[in-house]
Amino acid sequence: MAASTSDDNALHLATELRTVVTRLVKKLRAHSPTREKLSLTERSVVRLLDQHAHLLPSELAEMEKVTTQSMSQILRHLAERGYVLRQPSPTDRRKVHIVLADAGRQLLQTARQERDEWLHTVLTEQCSAAEVAALQQALPVLTKLVASE
């Protein structure tokens, strides 16, 4: 009986945690004026390019779980805005590498700063010192969850 109660508690915690994290992500996005410039997938592509020196359009399509045709449209839009650049592959002239342009890096930096400022304001204005400490203690556990496959 105790195992069942423990499982029920873990399931309830999982549901509550998912709900709260989802709401927090939505709040963070809503408090970033740069969000209106790009779709979720476009922002994700910019973040991926920030993490990798360069990627092929097919690699980006696979990572984002979209068709290569859809990725072509996404990359065209990002290139029109100056966020990405297309560079010929030095080893295979048939391939084009996609790299993040300086404007794309600046967009990411601005969006992160906007979200960090909002979260900092909420933490300092709405949370007690004990609540901030509790959040700090929870960070390693949350990081462990994010790192798991």
pLDDT of amino acid 149: 78
Whose CA is closest to 141, among 4, 12, 13?
A: 13
What's the domain count of the chain? 1
**What is residue 149's three-state secondary structure?**
coil
| 106-132 tens-digit pLDDT | 999 998 899 999 999 999 999 999 999
Q: H/E element holding 94?
A: none
Residue 13 lies in a domain: no
Residues paired with 110 in a beta bridge: none
Chain-centre distance for alpha carbon 149:
17
Residue 24 falls within a domain, yes or no? no
Within-domain flag for 138 = yes
24-82 tens-digit pLDDT: 988 988 888 776 778 889 999 999 999 999 999 999 999 999 999 999 999 999 999 99
Residue 44 is encoded by which pair of tokens?
């994700």
Tokens of 111: 């969006």
Whether 21 maps to a domain, the answer reads no
Residue 96 located in a structural domain: yes
Residue 3 maps to a domain: no
pLDDT at 40: 85
* CATH code at position 48: 1.10.10.10
- Rounded to the nearest 5 degrees, what angle is found at the Cα of 36, between the Cα atoms of 33 and 37? 105
Residue 18 lies in a domain: no
Containing structural domain, residue 76: 31-147
Evaluate whether residue 7 is within a structural domain.
Answer: no
Q: Are 83 and 100 in contact (CB under 8 A)?
A: yes
Average pLDDT over residues 10-31: 92
